A = this chain, B = another copy of it.
Amino acid sequence: MTPPFLDLPQRGGKPRQRGLTHVIDRGLSLAEVDGMLEVAGDAVDIVKLGWGTAVVTQNLGVKLARYREHDIPVVLGGTLTELAISQRRVDELVGWLRELGIGHVEISDGTITLPHSEKLALIERLAGEFTVLSEVGSKDDTRIMAPYVWVEQIERELEAGAWKVIAEARESGTAGIYRADGEVRMGLIDEIAHAIAPERLLFEAPQKEQQVWFVQRFGLDVNLGNIAPQDVLSLETLRLGLRSDTVPPAQPDERPAAPERTQR
């Protein structure tokens, strides 16, 4: 559609295995879902109904139907799975997911303490029926894990059948892979990426500066999660170098009189 007046990198189309944009729906109305799809539907790979909102939102059925019409998979928040574990109602959760026609499930332990062997057993069990996104890292910013523990947990969860492993941040973009001020724990990310192929990871990156950092570190095909609906288009421009923060430096052969990008 767009006249090719700029050289831009190529983005793969849906369904994607990498370059995923994982959107958090904190309680969208149907009109807001429609708006997001009208503006940037081609960039929405998966939608999470945040934490336990699915239990309370009054438009669940029609919203799930709308996402289904557009072939966008939906996953419920990991906190809901944790509540089901905590209340010994995993079978009931599974029954509800079947009833709702939801094919993805998030398995996390950001809120409760769960022996890793039990988490792996649950991943293995649910991976038989669902596409599993497991999540590593705590929402508790006083519970720091050494990088080798992150790597080990991620590897074992992938072996147990997880499709992708999510590197946790709070919805606000703190804790987990971020410091309390939202800054990326770069050393941690380096160690994880040294051991595990980035396309198996999905980094939660709700803040723009975090998205910029990951696009610059891993390229346009990095998998990013907890993206606000109103930021999907912005993230797409960050991937493509259409926003100041990720505009590529001018090529040397374009220079003599041509402009040079400022350092930042």
Copies of this chain in its oligomeric complex: 3
Say yes or no for A69: interface residue by CB 8 A criterion.
no
Establish whether residues A242 and B55, one from each chain, have CB atoms under 8 Å apart when the complex forms: yes
Say yes or no for A17: interface residue by CB 8 A criterion.
no
Name the contact of A86 in the complex, choosing from B31, B93, B243, B254 (C-beta under 8 A). Answer: B254
Say yes or no for A247: interface residue by CB 8 A criterion.
yes
Establish whether residues A233 and B29, one from each chain, have CB atoms under 8 Å apart when the complex forms: no
> Which residues in B have their C-beta under 8 angstroms from that of A79?
242-244, 247
Size of the A side of the interface (Cβ < 8 Å), in residues, is 85
A59, A60, A241: most-surrounded residue (chain B CB, <10 A): A59
Given A3-B99, A6-B55, A27-B234; A111-B35 close (CB under 8 Å): no
> Which residues in B have their C-beta under 8 angstroms from that of A118?
257, 259
Contacts of A39-96 to chain B: CB distance below 8 A: 39-42, 50-53, 55-60, 79-80, 82-89, 92-93, 95-96
Establish whether residues B244 and A51, one from each chain, have CB atoms under 8 Å apart when the complex forms: yes
> Which residues in B have their C-beta under 8 angstroms from that of A257?
115, 118
> Which residues in B have their C-beta under 8 angstroms from that of A258?
85-86, 88
Contacts of A184-231 to chain B: CB distance below 8 A: 208, 230
Using CB atoms, name the residue of chain B closest to A93. B5
> Which residues in B have their C-beta under 8 angstroms from that of A244?
51, 79, 110-111, 139, 170
Given pairs A26-B230, A52-B243, 6 additional interface contacts (CB within 8 A)? A2-B56, A5-B84, A5-B93, A31-B35, A56-B242, A86-B247
